[in-house]
Amino acid sequence: MHPNIQKLVALLEAAQSLLAQYGEKHWSSWLENDARLIRNLDLYGVEHLLTAYGGMGSINDLVIHPTNGHKIKDSDVASANEKFEILRTKIYSLAKRLAMEEANVRRNA
């Protein structure tokens, strides 16, 4: 398996676990499904994952906070969101790189 695919799956699993820990069901499920697809070398998972990053209500807008229905103490909000922001950024960067590599392979085939 391509090392970047393994890395992306690991990042998705870490982000999914973090979100599930605080009761974020929608995005946790989204990331879990995409991780499964990518782990099975179905690159539709990468395409689908990248759609999470655009527009209003995207994963970029997610804030882990009790007022959003998340099961988290106020004292943990900042650190949880910092961790998620780091994961979210790494996931996007790696998914974008893999999508571009796949596009280049298709173009050169």
**C-alpha count within 13 angstroms, C-beta hemisphere, residue 33:** 11
Question: Is pLDDT at 2 greater than 90 in this prediction?
Answer: no
Residues written for the chain: 109
Residue 32 C-beta-side C-alpha neighbours within 13 Å: 11
User: What average pLDDT is seen over the chain?
Assistant: 96
Q: pLDDT tens digits, residue range 32-64?
A: 999 999 999 999 999 999 999 989 999 999 999
Q: Examine the pLDDT at 81 and tell me if it is beyond 80.
A: yes
Handedness of CA 69, 72, 74, 79 (dihedral sign): negative
The widest CA-to-CA distance across the chain, in whole angstroms, is 53
Residue 78 in this model has a pLDDT that exceeds 90? yes
DSSP label of 76: G
